[in-house]
A and B are shown apart, each in its own frame.
Chain A
């Protein structure tokens, strides 16, 4: 349903008018074979551990999500009310597919799942998230991650 004709007129106008960052070219890192990939999730759903600081308007920082405890700990504090949360509330894999990734790892489809995953709050301009994202690159490499799955909300 994320087609322009499926969202209300206000949202459609907002999405069409939204200024996107411009890049002169697209960088390209050759990926490892899937079976040798250690995969981390970066979400922009405003996910946080219960008890962690909630996201607020304009937040450009991220929250750390420990894959092992996500099922009990995860809450969403995204500022926007313009997307469905009922799907996520019934099954967090709708936007944070940690169970599905663990199953792919158990089946040998991917090499392994990262210990740490991360969430931003996607209502913030991407340019404002550049510095924390570059910081994350180092943290992801320290966790031996070689493939990052980015998931919007």
Chain B
């Protein structure tokens, strides 16, 4: 991000920026940067807190008045963390037990299909409230995206699932659309769940999360380097596959 600020200022445009990784801004030294102590993915702070977002935005824009630089300022306000009371308002919309690890593919498929269907009322509620969804990166319908992912658990499809992309890229986009669906549905209820609360629910309590853990292992054993790369790095956050065995 800071590198882009250098290029734009060299070409005559004043810039200011938000910084999430202070170390990187210290190294790159962009003209004006406001470091914020928020979760990765939330550079303006919590969702649906207009006043908070205004304060962060104004602090970043105010750096434009600095007489000289580089300026690296620290934003002083923390984003509120969810309390137990807040979390009481956040109830996972569903709680289906993942199938047993030794269950056959057909059993997995049935559970996934059932899980996706059971989230639909919550997804609809989310759409009613927000009028927007993040589903759409793959260009596939939700059902097609689901079938694409399941087809990779059975074997490997004969053609790329998303036109204009590689096999691995198409799979990643289909997975991302399904994850977006789950997260839209899970956040339809009021409450102040953090990103990590929602991640924990998705990766530890859903059948689809369980299926992706299995798919990751399968892809990492593939002969196709792209599939290995996609499986190893782009399906599951490191916080949910990392364990001590990685460092042994």
Q: Which residues of A contact B (CB under 8 A)?
A: 1-4, 6-11, 15-16, 18, 20-23, 26-34, 37, 39, 42, 44, 48, 50-51, 53-54, 56-57, 71-72, 74-77, 79-95, 97, 99-101, 103-104, 109-110, 120, 122, 126-127, 129-130, 133-134, 136-138, 140-141, 145-153
Contacts and interface: CB of A to CB of B under 8 A. Distances in A.
Contacts of B139: 51, 54
Contacts of B40: 1-2, 7, 82-84, 153
A73 B57 CA distance: 23
Given A11-B239, A93-B44, A153-B41, 10 more contacts: A7-B239, A20-B2, A29-B13, A87-B195, A94-B42, A126-B3, A141-B13, A149-B61, A150-B15, A152-B1
B229 interface: yes
A141 B17 CA distance: 18
B236 interface: yes
Interface residues on B, range: 35 or more
Interface string B69-80: 110000000010
A120 B8 CA distance: 14
Interface in B42-69: 42-48, 50, 53-54, 57-58, 60-62, 64-65, 68-69
Contacts of B58: 104, 109
Interface centre among A29, A99, A109, A127 (most CB of B within 10 A): A29
Contacts of A51: 136, 139
Output the residue of A100, A104, A140 with the most chain B CB within 10 A. A100
Contact of B237 (A2, A81, A151): A81
B9 A150 contact: no
B23 A15 contact: yes
Interface in B117-173: 130-139, 162, 164-166, 169, 172-173
B2 A126 contact: yes
Contact of A137 (B7, B23, B24): B7
Given A100-B50, A147-B64, A94 B238 contact: no
